Amino acid sequence: MELWFMGTSAGMPIAERNVTSVALNLTRPKGTFWLFDCGEGTQHRLLQSPLKLSRLTKLFITHLHGDHLFGVPGLLSSRSSLGGVEPLDVYGPPGLREFIDTALRLSGTHLDYPLNVREIEEEGLVLDGEGYTVECAPLDHRIFCLGYRVAEKPRAGALCVDVLAAAGVPPGPAYGRLKAGEDLVLEDGRIVRAADVLCDPIPGRVVAVMGDTRPCEGAVRLARGADALVYEATFGADLAEKAELYGHSTSVQAAEIARAAGASRLLMTHFSSRYGREDLALLEEQARSVFPRSDAALELEPYAVPTPPRRGR
């Protein structure tokens, strides 16, 4: 599982940064990825990454401000042109369906795949399947804005091969059945229970992606115990009043959310155009004074979300 930032700029792009979008490259199912927000130019950034647009399966929009949304019509069209035929599920606030339908209708754009748009009005479970759950909650911005929590479901632990060998279970299909959680009856009538020959399950990873927001309880809930928290740091610590006025957070406030949530790592994004790349070190320094594992996300750099170590019995 990796995070790739397609855009980290707030409001408008600058020469070295695109507007907001972050991709979650999944290991299950292999080769697919999800996208959170889609500012103008996102598909151009994808061309510079190893991610293939035809393998995009889900798109999550946090809110309807243009720097998070204006890239959607072009991306949908290009996915079709590039041979994408599998359904695409799109989630976001009320008004998202009207925006997409209007853009496609007025431009005469035809899609060669089913497009499923689900508008979300309140906190709750967004999806449960394909090895993951996704929850959302409203944040505190100038317009209705969502944050998302992606939780990978636990995976079965490794088989205790030495125990199986001692029981006389030969390698082969029987191993697969036990790995899948099925108990096995041997020829002599003995029962080998899957629970007795599997190491502890591997905990799933959790990634929380916030839209634009002031510090709020919803963000803390979604980020609770996250392995990676993607959170905006539009302004430096000296501009807290401006952040409050415009519904944003500072670098220090981002770190405070990560600390309060007990997250493992903070990846800051959505930087004001006043900050060039050389200024991001200051934002990191400010955040790290509160939460040491804070980084200013760089575009087109992979950020791995490590698999928790296997635990023996």
Query: Which residues form the domain of 84?
Result: 2-153+205-304
CA distance 90 to 142: 22
216/200 Cα distance (integer angstroms): 35
Q: 223 and 123: one domain?
A: yes
Kindly state whether residue 311 falls inside one of the protein's structural domains: no
Q: Are residues 138 and 181 in the same domain?
A: no
212 is in an annotated binding site: yes
Q: Known catalytic residues?
A: 67
Domain at 56, CATH number = 3.60.15.10
- Residues 184 and 245 placed together within one structural domain of the fold: no
Q: How many domains does the chain have?
A: 2
Query: Is residue 138 in some structural domain?
Result: yes
- Residue 110 assigned as binding residue: no
- In a domain, residue 18? The reply is yes
pLDDT value for 308: 58
Is 37 assigned a ligand-binding role in the annotation?
no
Q: Is 30 helix (H, G, I), strand (E, B) or coil?
A: coil
- 68 is known to lie in a ligand binding site: yes
Q: What is the pLDDT of residue 80?
A: 95
Q: What would the two tokens of residue 299 be?
A: 């575009």
CA distance 17 to 8: 6
pLDDT digits (tens, 9 = 90+) for 73-131: 999 999 999 988 999 999 999 999 999 999 999 999 999 999 999 999 999 999 998 88
For the chain (length 313 residues), average pLDDT per consecutive 10?
A: 97 95 81 94 96 95 98 97 94 98 97 97 93 96 98 80 78 76 80 77 90 98 97 98 98 98 98 95 98 98 80 39
pLDDT of residue 28: 58
Q: Do 36 and 130 reside in the same domain of the chain? A: yes
Question: Residue 28 domain-assigned?
Answer: yes
Please give the torsion angle defined by the CA atoms of residues 279, 282, 288 and 293, in that order, rounded to the nearest 10 degrees: 20
Kindly state whether residue 146 falls inside one of the protein's structural domains. Answer: yes
Task: Give the position of tokens 């519904």.
Answer: 247
In a domain? residue 309: no
Residues 146 and 238 in one domain: yes
pLDDT of residue 311: 40
What is this structure's pTM?
0.88
Residue 213 belongs to a domain: yes
270 is in an annotated binding site: yes
Tell me phi and psi for residue 151, to 5 degrees.
-120, 120
Concatenated DSSP letters for 80-108?
Answer: HHTT--S-EEEEESTTHHHHHHHHHHHHT
3-class SS of residue 175: helix
Asked if 130 and 10 sit in the same domain, the reply is: yes
Tell me the angle at which helices 96-107 and 72-81 cross, rounded to the nearest 10 degrees. Answer: 60
Spatial contact of 142 and 68, defined as CB atoms under 8 Å apart: no
b (16+ CB within 10 A) / e for 235-266? bbbebeeebeebbbbbbbbbbbbbbebebbbb
Residue 312 domain flag:
no
Same domain, 182 and 229: no
Tokens for 5?
């930032």
